[in-house]
Amino acid sequence: MHPNNSNPHRSTVLSASVLVAALFSTAPALAADPVVWVSWGGSYGTAEKKSYLEPWMKATGNDAVMEDYNGGVAQIRAQVESGDVSWDIVAMIPGDMYRACDEGLLEVLNHSELAPSPDGTPASKDFIPGALPDCGVANNVWSTVWSYNKNAFPSNPPRTVADFWNAERYPGKRGLRKTPEVNLEWALMADGVPRDKVYQTLATSEGVDRAFRSLDRLKDHIVWWEAGAQPPQLLADGEVVMTSAYNGRIYNAVKNENQSFAIAWDTQVWDLGHWVILKGAPHRDKAWELLRFATTPKQLPALTQYMAYGPPRKSSAVFVSNEVAPHLPSYPDNMKNALAFDVKFWADHADELGERFSTWLAQQ
- Is the pLDDT at 91 greater than 80, yes or no? yes
Rounded-to-integer distance, Cα 112 and Cα 189, Å: 38
The arithmetic mean of pLDDT across residues 235-243, rounded, is 98
pTM: 0.82
For residues 32 and 109, membership in a common domain is answered with yes
**300 found inside a domain:** yes
Do the domain assignments include residue 2?
no
- In a 13 Å sphere around the CA of 242, the CA atoms on its Cβ side amount to 27
CA distance 97 to 135: 8
Instruction: Assess if residue 151 is contained within a domain.
Output: yes
pLDDT tens digits, one per residue of 41-82: 888 899 999 999 999 999 999 999 999 998 999 999 999 999
* 242 part of a folded domain: yes
Query: Residue range 187-213: average pLDDT?
Result: 98
Cα→Cα distances 188→22, 185, 342, Å: 51, 5, 15
Mean pLDDT, to the nearest integer, of 229-245? 97
- Angstrom CA distances, 30 to 89, 256, 288, 295, 336, stand at 19, 36, 18, 22, 46
180/323 same-domain check: no
User: Does the residue 1 lie in any domain?
Assistant: no
pLDDT-derived band at 37, boundaries 50, 70, 90: very high
> HSE-up of 167 (CA within 13 Å, CB side)?
15
Maximum separation of any 2 CA atoms in the chain, in Å = 67
Using only C-alpha atoms, the chain has a radius of gyration, in whole angstroms, of: 22
Asked if residue 298 and residue 166 are part of one domain, the reply reads no
- Same domain for 155 and 220? yes
| Closest by CA position to 39, among listed 93, 86, 105, 109 | 93
Q: Where are the alpha helices (DSSP H) in 105-264?
A: 123-126, 161-165, 183-190, 198-202, 205-218, 230-237, 247-257
In this structure, the answer to whether residues 296 and 348 fall within a common structural domain is no
The percent of residues above 70 in pLDDT, for the chain, comes to 91
In the chain, % of residues over pLDDT 90: 87
Q: What is the CA 93 to chain-centroid distance, rounded?
A: 8
For residue 305, is it within any domain?
A: yes
Does residue 311 belong to any structural domain of this protein?
Answer: yes
Q: What is the pLDDT of residues 289-344, one digit of tens each?
A: 999 999 999 999 999 999 999 999 999 999 999 999 999 999 989 999 999 999 99
What pLDDT is recorded for position 43? Answer: 82
pLDDT band at residue 17 using 50, 70 and 90 as cut-offs: very low
**Residue 187 phi, psi dihedral angles, 5° rounding:** -60, -40
Closest CA to 56 of 98, 88, 85: 88
99 and 78 within one domain: yes
Secondary structure of residue 154 in the 3-state scheme: coil
Same domain, 225 and 278: no
Count: domains in the chain: 2
Same domain, 263 and 277: no
- Same domain flag for 306 and 319: yes
Long-range contacts for 2-7 (Cβ within 8 Å, ≥24 apart)? 2/315, 2/317, 2/318, 3/117, 3/118, 3/119, 3/121, 3/297, 3/315, 3/318, 4/119, 5/118, 5/119, 6/119
Element (H, E) at 226: none
Q: Are residues 303 and 318 in the same domain?
A: yes
Same domain, 217 and 346: yes
d(CA 235, CA 150): 10
Are 250 and 320 spatial neighbours (Cβ–Cβ below 8 Å)? Answer: no
Contact 281, 87 (CB under 8 A): yes
According to the model, what pLDDT value does residue 332 have? 86
CA distance 56 to 34: 12
The answer to whether residues 170 and 260 belong to one domain is yes
**349 located within any domain:** yes
The answer for residues whose C-beta is within 8 angstroms of residue 195's C-beta and 6 or more apart is 189, 267, 337, 339
pLDDT at 276 over 50: yes
Question: CA-CA distance, 272 to 290, in Å (whole number)?
Answer: 19
Burial of 364 (0-12, 13-18, 19+ CB in 10 A): exposed
CA end-to-end distance (rounded Å), the chain: 46
Q: What is the pLDDT of residues 120-166, one digit of tens each?
A: 999 999 999 899 999 999 999 999 999 999 999 999 999 999 999 99
Q: Coil, helix or strand for 343?
A: helix
142, 309 Cβ separation under 8 angstroms: yes
- The CATH number covering residue 342 comes to 3.40.190.10
Domain range for residue 193? 144-271+337-362
Measured in whole angstroms, how far is the alpha carbon of residue 153 from the centre of its chain? 29
